[in-house]
A and B are shown apart, each in its own frame.
Chain A
């Protein structure tokens, strides 16, 4: 007890945080129970009656769910396959730039969209891709590539592409920070001896740079996988519209509409819980696999 008293300030520093995490992070975890209950506002979470997996059965049986899951997985998969490697490629290209001024300029400019909200990005992209007078349609038309302006954001066939493109555009520059940092920490002697052995730049990138930043890539990839089903709530809610809803409704937007706007708490919680559990399973298995291959995991 003496040591607690001696360190009383330290405990006071930490205490509000502990209380906050208990209330704002752990209380909602407990609230997840309503996915298994017939929730009654008056009885509260604890005393409401159990209904077992009824909500999940209803959810998995509904045709909505298939669409939701398809959209969420498709968008996430696109972002993982194309969005994840994009900053790595950009970092490798920036690393080849000899002029320090150009490199700094390029970096500063490429960070710009990261600091802007999805609402603003959506506004800017709507303007850029608009049917009447949008820069993209204008340019494509003047180059003779298209005859009629394309309704980029209103056509379901283009929606996933627009989501992927804007996501890469917004995040690619900022994503390079961590990769550039790990590239610059590579021992320069490795390159010198490779040059002596006659390796050209491609071979240097392939045999030295990439292996050197492999640990960073793997770590970020695992962290990405944990959020696989997130798909991008802020982005997609801002960019979706009724014309493309069949391709644009993801788990998160559905949970909000059904749960918050229509007060259907149990079903919405069940969808949310499904998402969290899948995310956790993906994280743990990715971590396990990566460790099997001799890399460092997250835990």
Chain B
């Protein structure tokens, strides 16, 4: 196909524009990484954008020497693993049940789920509910309220519906019950959607900072993101006005470490786990998003 001059110009512009755009997505992360690997005092002179000038791991050593950060790490990992596993198991089971015609009362349950997508009680009634359930200031406030979600149920359901009925029928003839059919046939055939939903659930847990701000006051329950917010002193509202000295908390680290350089290292520490995982799961989640946004 022959290209006109206008089309060629457009192609050039398109590649250029997209390259610049990609730069804006990458560079801010890159700059933080460079700063985190540079001596803090030296970095405060400015001018570090692409490469560290005085390379060091001291900032990371300072981050990991703080007991509150290790504790927050444990909370974050704990809630991500437990929350994701429980949620995926429960949601997929419910979706499997709802995907079968045999289940009477399906219609009512569907309506019940759909309504929750468009109307909710809001923050305060929710807060009061957690209070009466004694979920406030417990680890379980991170897990229990996020176990189910209507959208997740529907995404799983549409996946299970698309499975060939014959597989189930023949398994049933062999005497398998629904639990066996689910775990031996449905789950192995739906691994892509399990991977997608697990990724999103895990990302949601890992990135959540508001739950802790709203529902906890116990410092031992702070997940990494909420602690990061306090360390960075990002938000000086009621919940975040605890003065957090970053450096004076650990005498062990050298003098070259500054509050600023520790913040940069902590940003990297918080982001790294996700950045190493998502490119590998891209294939799956693209598929998952497409299924999820189709109706039904």
Q: A238 and B209 in contact (CB under 8 A), knowing A9-B178, A132-B46?
A: yes
Chain A residue at smallest Cβ distance from B270: A120
Set of chain A residues within 8 Å of B178, measured between Cβ atoms? 7, 9-10, 13
Interface locus among B5-13, B57-65, B246-254: B5-13
A220 CB-CB contact with B under 8 Å: yes
Beta-carbon contact of B122 and A14 below 8 Å: no
Chain A residue at smallest Cβ distance from B210: A234
With an 8 Å Cβ cutoff, the count of chain A residues facing the other chain is 99
Beta-carbon contact of A177 and B103 below 8 Å: no
Name A96's contact: one of B11, B133, B293 (CB within 8 Å).
B11
Q: A34 and B278 in contact (CB under 8 A), knowing A13-B94, A115-B203?
A: no
Beta-carbon contact of B121 and A30 below 8 Å: yes
Beta-carbon contact of A110 and B127 below 8 Å: no
Q: A226 and B118 in contact (CB under 8 A), knowing A119-B228, A119-B234?
A: yes
A257 CB-CB contact with B under 8 Å: yes
Query: From residue 1 to 28 of chain B, which have CB atoms closer than 8 A to chain A?
Result: 1, 4, 6-7, 10-11, 14-15, 17-18, 21-22, 24-28
Name B22's contact: one of A105, A177, A252 (CB within 8 Å).
A105
A18, A120, A124, A242: which has the most chain B beta carbons within 10 Å? A120
Set of chain A residues within 8 Å of B6, measured between Cβ atoms? 200
B82 CB-CB contact with A under 8 Å: no
B128 CB-CB contact with A under 8 Å: yes
Beta-carbon contact of B22 and A106 below 8 Å: yes
Beta-carbon contact of B94 and A16 below 8 Å: yes
Contact with A along B95-133 (1 / 0, CB 8 A): 011101011100001001110101111111111110001
A287 vs chain B, min Cβ distance (A)? 10
A63 CB-CB contact with B under 8 Å: no
Name A16's contact: one of B90, B228, B295 (CB within 8 Å).
B90
Complex Cα spacing A31 to B46, Å: 53
Set of chain A residues within 8 Å of B4, measured between Cβ atoms? 200
Beta-carbon contact of A126 and B278 below 8 Å: no
Complex Cα spacing A16 to B6, Å: 61
Beta-carbon contact of A124 and B267 below 8 Å: yes
Complex Cα spacing A296 to B121, Å: 28
Beta-carbon contact of A257 and B237 below 8 Å: yes
Set of chain A residues within 8 Å of B210, measured between Cβ atoms? 233-234, 237
Complex Cα spacing A273 to B123, Å: 9
Chain B residue at smallest Cβ distance from A182: B290
Beta-carbon contact of B25 and A169 below 8 Å: yes
B235 CB-CB contact with A under 8 Å: yes
Set of chain B residues within 8 Å of A299, measured between Cβ atoms? 114
Q: A111 and B102 in contact (CB under 8 A), knowing A24-B129, A135-B31?
A: no
Beta-carbon contact of B25 and A110 below 8 Å: yes
A17 CB-CB contact with B under 8 Å: yes
Chain B residue at smallest Cβ distance from A177: B289
B137 CB-CB contact with A under 8 Å: no
Chain B residue at smallest Cβ distance from A4: B104
A190 CB-CB contact with B under 8 Å: no
Beta-carbon contact of A18 and B120 below 8 Å: no
Beta-carbon contact of A238 and B229 below 8 Å: yes
Name A13's contact: one of B97, B104, B236, B264 (CB within 8 Å).
B97
Beta-carbon contact of B295 and A219 below 8 Å: yes
Name A117's contact: one of B123, B133, B177, B207 (CB within 8 Å).
B207
- Write 12 A-B pairs (CB below 8 A) sorted by A numbering: A9-B178, A10-B100, A109-B22, A111-B282, A113-B25, A122-B229, A174-B289, A226-B118, A259-B127, A260-B214, A269-B122, A276-B121
Chain B residues within 8 Å of A, Cβ to Cβ:
1, 4, 6-7, 10-11, 14-15, 17-18, 21-22, 24-29, 31-32, 35, 44, 46-47, 49, 90-91, 93-94, 96-98, 100, 102-104, 109, 112-114, 116, 118-129, 133, 144-145, 147-148, 150, 153, 177-179, 182, 203, 206-210, 213-214, 225-226, 228-229, 232, 234-239, 263-264, 267, 270-271, 274-275, 278-279, 282, 286, 289-290, 293, 295
Chain A residues within 8 Å of B, Cβ to Cβ:
3-4, 7, 9-11, 13-14, 16-18, 20-21, 23-32, 34, 45, 90, 93-94, 96-98, 102, 105-113, 115-120, 122-128, 132-133, 135, 138, 169, 173-174, 177-178, 181, 195, 200-201, 216, 219-220, 226, 233-234, 237-242, 252, 255-257, 259-261, 265, 268-269, 272-273, 275-276, 279-280, 283, 296, 298-299
